[in-house]
Structure 1
């Protein structure tokens, strides 16, 4: 997610947009730039009668809300031979479980990640119903960013269920998609990082990630699954949502004997996935790429 100042762009008028481009306050956007998407099976049903909607945060930042059909977007990797077996990374965007930051924490990260020798997928998991239309979405954003309302823990199981379905889907298509089924990881941002953690903690036998990454996500807790996978975690000290958490989760992960890489940046705020700030948090992706190589996930 980008920070509040930029979210205000959602509420701007259509000045500068092409005539007729805005419909009920939502700027229509083109389909995601992926060659293929697959629907994920739903194991935890939820009724969401409102139709899916997209909003344009800035000209290059799109958000999707009222997601009621989970999908896995297959990112076309043009840097790998089509038949080479490679590790897979499933990106899990954030958005307070009320929307998904599809560019900042999805497509833009995928463009960088494909060059690391991995096959990239973007998880479009179900979000909280926020009502029908842009006005309802705008009100939900105001609660999340202006009033600082908390997301209830019982909203998380749906995102976790969809993430587990994504892991199962990738492994079941490993031969078709030329993936090493023993190198399937998940990388989440904000609410997506919360989802990554909860998915790993659930430790489902058929949906365990082989490596996990959390970008501006939780750092507090003691619940570490048995045989925990390698963990990569980054956060800025001035993160508005998680800055008050201690580092007990990282300590517990280390104490379990599992591998941990952690970077605490002095500044960077929240939402720096693909948005340079001129702070050391800008280095997070390069450090993640080195971590993948150091853990023998890439480079084979």
Structure 2
């Protein structure tokens, strides 16, 4: 049970230097951003959520969305020529399954990925229902961070179902979106990394990623799918949520004969996706870009 509680807490991406209580107090409501090009994802696992989707901000440049009940695939505007076929990367943000860190692990990463010559999509998957108000949302976060309240881990199943639907949709619309259907990968952060791993382990033929990235996600040994795709993983040694986990997952990946690249940074905390800390973890994106090129996924 103690191990499960630690795993639950590990799914939430928060700044490494902020105390949980201070972080929750700093969350403020914010207007819903302008609509972006998106496609509704088919709901294969219905879930009732009477609350309304809402946005909040952790800091002025870091927004969160919660009570997501209608999963969507956000199509990031590409700088590539309209008819240029390219690999696709689907971003899967984290947030403890209670919210999605849309700037830190979505929009900000999408901007950087676009420069590598890939088509970028963001999976806006369903989140766990929380009270229908900013105060209710903050209370839910406080319970999670400070009181260790149980989290409905079945929401991971909804996140996986939505991510699988997103992969299927990108492949189905490969010609429309000028995507190379044989190069569709996913990159997940925190709870999104756990979703990414579970999606890969499901090994569904039509929803199997061709390459996988996990940033500050689980590292302990677990099932490796048959003919596992190339894996890139990065985490900081002082990640307070995963600090007690071993690295059996990467050994098992290697033992299966699949490609794996793992970066263990000496510092960086948790949630460093688009938040430089002056630590070696700041290099994760450049190393991910080199990995994409070394594996023949991109040419830039």
Do the aligned residues in 1 keep the contact of 2:65 with 2:100 (CA within 8 Å)?
yes
Q: Structure 1 residues 89, 2: closer, same or farther in 2, change over 3 A?
A: same
Q: Structure 1 residues 243, 40: closer, same or farther in 2, change over 3 A?
A: same
Structure-to-structure mapping, 1:40-189, within 5 angstroms: 40-78=41-79, 80-149=80-149, 151-189=151-189
Take 1:281 and 1:203, find their aligned partners in 2: how far apart are those partners? 30
Deviation (angstroms), 1:172: 0.3
Deviation (angstroms), 1:221: 2.0
Runs of 5+ unmatched residues, structure 2: 1-12
1:259 is aligned to: 259
Deviation (angstroms), 1:81: 1.1
Q: Structure 1 residues 57, 222: closer, same or farther in 2, change over 3 A?
A: closer
Give the TM-score taking structure 1 as reference length: 0.92
1:11 is aligned to: 25
Give the number of equivalent residue pairs: 286
Q: Structure 1 residues 151, 256: closer, same or farther in 2, change over 3 A?
A: farther
Q: Structure 1 residues 149, 253: closer, same or farther in 2, change over 3 A?
A: farther
Deviation (angstroms), 1:152: 4.3
Deviation (angstroms), 1:57: 1.2
Runs of 5+ unmatched residues, structure 1: 14-24
1:38 is aligned to: 39
Deviation (angstroms), 1:77: 1.1
1:222 is aligned to: 222
Take 1:84 and 1:291, find their aligned partners in 2: how far apart are those partners? 22
Q: Please, what is the CA RMSD of the aligned residues?
A: 1.6
Do the aligned residues in 1 keep the contact of 2:64 with 2:101 (CA within 8 Å)?
yes
User: Counterpart of 1:137 in 2: which secondary structure?
Assistant: helix
